[in-house]
């Protein structure tokens, strides 16, 4: 939810954010007008209620001659107060509805534009020259099938399109990847968490996922619960309606969960393999921190993602995502994209977002204000970042393949696979 104080004091900053996102600037003025109506309605309600209370005291001490007139006045005021209270509530509902339509205010450093207007910050590692090595690389589907690691046909038979089985070394590889991520997170001070994959509407709404892309989320109407597309959702709701203690630094969690996405609007895109699927597993970093520390924390999350990518020894690049592609809750987002040889391009494997106070306002997560002399509570900042997910298997298989169809296991993952260093074809 947008910071109303910022909106009142610096509406031009919010207008600039809306322009950068390609969103409606007019919403800013609509929210300001609704805010004025709410405050005016509330002031009139409180003034009339005070008058009603004062008149009630007069009735208690009134003479028999004046009491009937005062009682009639009191009754009329009571009706007026009731009407004004309804007006104030309606104005508050209108303000809430309009203000939740404004996405988080973009950090000024974020590139302006849409999906293709990102800025490449750096490229790490050089793609292999398979032609110089004398063979044509196979894609992850062919490799996975020969290794007995991926079974797409039976996934479709059991569950439909965009589902799959990870079998044998495929299952072991995913578990190795996720466990390696958890161990790295724990070493960095994160608390590991197995999160629920079903959440209430208020939690899904609080994280900002029930906006423009709500059609990508699975909903169970009979239970009015949503399947999460990331453990960020459950972790954002973990401290909802709480006052958290950040005096010793950020509260960091590493959530492991199955994730579900309908992939609405992606018909015809990435239909082959396990790049764009309906179900996958992921280890997600989530941090609650003080507002002043959020930018530095964002850089730390990105560094941890790059540390994990270095462990699996694949070329990647880091991009600064443009404002129009941030999603509603992020003020700034960095993606790491791994090189996929058979596609000749980079594909997203991690994403880290600074959501500033946007989610905390919607979910009411606060801390005691650390500033000297201030006794009130204030909203915290929330950040998230992918540490490993199923999609990484695509890049691992393709980048580490050998001419005979075998795949070398990255050294960092070998201890999690019982020392296995090569995946060999079984068919």
Please say if 47 is a catalytic residue: no
Report the distance separating Cα 210 and Cα 202, nearest Å: 10
Please say if 305 is a catalytic residue: no
Please say if 162 is a catalytic residue: no
Q: Count CA atoms closer than 13 A to 352's CA, side-chain side.
A: 26
Radius of gyration of the chain (CA): 27
Q: Please identify which of the residues 38, 172, 261, 366 carries the catalytic annotation.
A: 261
Please say if 376 is a catalytic residue: no
Q: Please identify which of the residues 49, 348, 378, 406 carries the catalytic annotation.
A: 348
For the chain, the farthest-separated pair of C-alpha atoms sits apart, in whole angstroms, at 110
Report the distance separating Cα 98 and Cα 7, nearest Å: 12
- Sheet of 191-194, strand order: 119-124, 316-320, 332-340, 345-354, 381-389, 279-289, 251-260, 191-194
Q: Please identify which of the residues 17, 41, 287, 351 carries the catalytic annotation.
A: 351
Please say if 372 is a catalytic residue: no
Contact (Cβ atoms closer than 8 angstroms) between residue 339 and residue 314: yes
Report the distance separating Cα 240 and Cα 328, nearest Å: 19
How many Cβ atoms sit within 10 Å of the Cβ of residue 132?
6
Q: Count CA atoms closer than 13 A to 156's CA, side-chain side.
A: 10
Report the distance separating Cα 248 and Cα 64, nearest Å: 67
DSSP, residue by residue, 16-63 = HHHHHHT--THHHHHHHHHHHHHHHHHHHHHHHHHHHHHHHHHHHT--
**Strand pairing class (198-199; 407-408):** unpaired
Q: Please identify which of the residues 205, 276, 290, 378 carries the catalytic annotation.
A: 276
Q: Please identify which of the residues 21, 38, 146, 391 carries the catalytic annotation.
A: 391
Catalytic residues: 261, 276, 348, 351, 391
């Amino acid at each position: 939810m947008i910071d109303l104080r910022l909106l009142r004091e610096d509406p031009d900053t919010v207008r600039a954010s809306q322009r950068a996102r390609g969103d409606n600037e007019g919403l800013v003025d609509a929210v300001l007008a609704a805010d004025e109506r709410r405050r005016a309605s509330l002031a009139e309600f409180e003034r009339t209620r005070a008058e009603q209370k004062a008149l009630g005291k007069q009735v208690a001490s009134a003479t028999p001659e004046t009491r009937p007139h005062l009682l009639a006045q009191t009754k009329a005021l009571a009706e007026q107060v009731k009407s004004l209270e309804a007006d104030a509530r309606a104005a508050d509902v209108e303000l809430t509805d309009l203000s939740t339509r404004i996405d988080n205010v973009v950090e000024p450093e974020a590139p302006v534009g849409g999906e293709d207007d990102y800025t490449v910050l750096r490229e790490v590692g050089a793609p292999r020259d398979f032609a110089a090595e004398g063979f044509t690389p196979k894609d992850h589907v062919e490799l996975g099938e020969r290794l007995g690691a991926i079974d797409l046909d039976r996934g479709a038979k059991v569950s439909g399109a965009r589902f799959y089985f990870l079998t044998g070394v495929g299952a072991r590889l995913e578990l190795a990847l996720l466990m390696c991520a958890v161990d790295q997170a724990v070493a960095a001070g994160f608390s590991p968490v197995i999160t629920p994959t079903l959440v209430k509407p208020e939690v899904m709404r609080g994280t900002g996922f029930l906006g423009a892309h709500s059609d990508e989320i699975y909903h169970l109407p009979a239970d009015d619960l949503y399947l999460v597309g990331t453990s960020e959702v459950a972790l954002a709701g973990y401290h909802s309606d709480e006052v958290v203690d950040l005096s010793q630094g950020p509260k960091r969690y590493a959530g492991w969960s199955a994730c579900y996405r309908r992939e609405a609007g992606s018909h015809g895109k990435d239909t082959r393999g396990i790049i764009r699927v309906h179900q996958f597993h992921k280890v997600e970093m989530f941090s609650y921190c003080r507002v002043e520390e959020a930018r530095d924390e964002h850089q730390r999350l990105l560094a941890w993602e790059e540390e994990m990518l270095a462990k699996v020894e694949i070329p990647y690049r880091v991009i600064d995502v443009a404002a129009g592609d941030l999603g509603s809750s992020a003020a700034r987002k960095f993606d790491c994209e791994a090189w996929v040889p058979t596609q000749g391009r980079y594909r997203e494997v991690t994403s880290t977002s600074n959501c500033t106070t946007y989610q905390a306002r919607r979910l009411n997560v606060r801390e005691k204000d650390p500033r000297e002399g201030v006794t009130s509570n204030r909203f915290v900042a929330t950040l998230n970042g992918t540490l490993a997910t199923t999609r990484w298997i695509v890049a691992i298989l393709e980048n580490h393949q050998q001419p005979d169809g075998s795949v070398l296991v990255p050294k960092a993952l070998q201890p999690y696979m019982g020392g296995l260093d090569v995946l060999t074809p079984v068919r």
